[in-house]
Amino acid sequence: MAKTGVIAGTAFRRICLSENANPLEVSTRFGKTTVLESDDIVFLPRHGMEDNIPPHRINHRVNLSAFKELGIPRIIGVNSVGSLKAQIPPKTILIPHDYINLWGIQTLFDHEIHHITPGLDEDFRQLILRVAKRRRIEVTGGGIYIQTTGPRLETRAEIQLLRHFGDVVGMTMGNEATLSEELSIPYASICSVDNYCHGISKSPLAAEEILRNARSNMEKVKRLVLATIEEVT
């Protein structure tokens, strides 16, 4: 059975993969990247093996093409997000059903006309929701993700605009989902809500609190990812 691709931050790698995961360099027409291969997972650290690539510098074309080169049949993206809605508090796990990505869109097709209708894979998304229900992992079963460019967070005015159109904000998932669609690889996202966006809460944003919430969510996200992989293996 083919392995599941997982894209996440480097911290997630430390709790998700066994110690005997093997690094593998993959060459694509867009360059090279390194993945970590274990029994059921091919893990790609989104910010690089040294966790030093900022979000606006990530070469998503290399990352997603590497999965295609390896014959990966499905991809789970683990994405850290901020909440645009008071009713979606930090420490929520949200499985988005759609996204908005109108800026800095990456594509594999620079020299030919190739149109797709982008979206998250609904069959794979529903499978994740079924797994969450069976394992009694509380999730929010839908929401619209808005991708911004980064690396900075958004202004209060920007958040007041975006909250009318989406539920959470991040800097990476839209490009991953679009390129996966171009490569015909099913992609679904598990979003860890780590903070309220600027101005949604009366409390100011604090980096320490965001990190605490991310760590708090990590075990639930790990359980959901591994249970989903067990389901499809």
CATH of the domain at 172: 3.40.50.1580
DSSP assignment letter at 55: G
pLDDT band at 54 (very low <50, low <70, confident <90, very high): very high
17 has a pLDDT exceeding 70: no
The pLDDT > 70 percentage for the chain reads 96
208 has a pLDDT exceeding 90: no
So what's the pLDDT on residue 9?
85
The contacts of residue 87 (CB under 8 Å, 6+ apart) are none
Identity of the amino acid at 44:
L
Query: What is the mean predicted confidence (pLDDT) over 206-224?
Result: 85
So what's the pLDDT on residue 28?
97
Average model confidence (pLDDT) for the chain?
92
How far apart, in whole angstroms, are the C-alpha atoms of residue 42 and residue 74? 10
The SS3 call for residue 76 is strand
pLDDT band at 15 (very low <50, low <70, confident <90, very high): low
Cβ(39)–Cβ(108) under 8 Å?
Answer: no
10 has a pLDDT exceeding 90: no
What's the structural domain count of the chain?
A: 1
How far apart, in whole angstroms, are the C-alpha atoms of residue 96 and residue 144? 6
DSSP sequence for 178-226? HHHHHTT--EEEEEEEEEE-TTTSSSPP-HHHHHHHHHHHHHHHHHHHH
219 has a pLDDT exceeding 80: yes
Positive or negative: CA dihedral 183, 5, 7, 160 = positive
Q: How close are the terminal C-alpha atoms of the chain, in Å?
A: 6
pLDDT tens across 93-151, in order? 999 999 999 998 899 998 888 899 999 999 999 999 999 999 999 999 999 999 999 88
Place of tokens 């690089």: 48
How far apart, in whole angstroms, are the C-alpha atoms of residue 157 and residue 5? 37
How far apart, in whole angstroms, are the C-alpha atoms of residue 192 and residue 81? 6
| Domain limits for position 112 | 4-232
Place of tokens 């979606």: 88
The SS3 call for residue 150 is coil
The contacts of residue 35 (CB under 8 Å, 6+ apart) are 23, 24, 26, 42, 43, 44, 66, 70
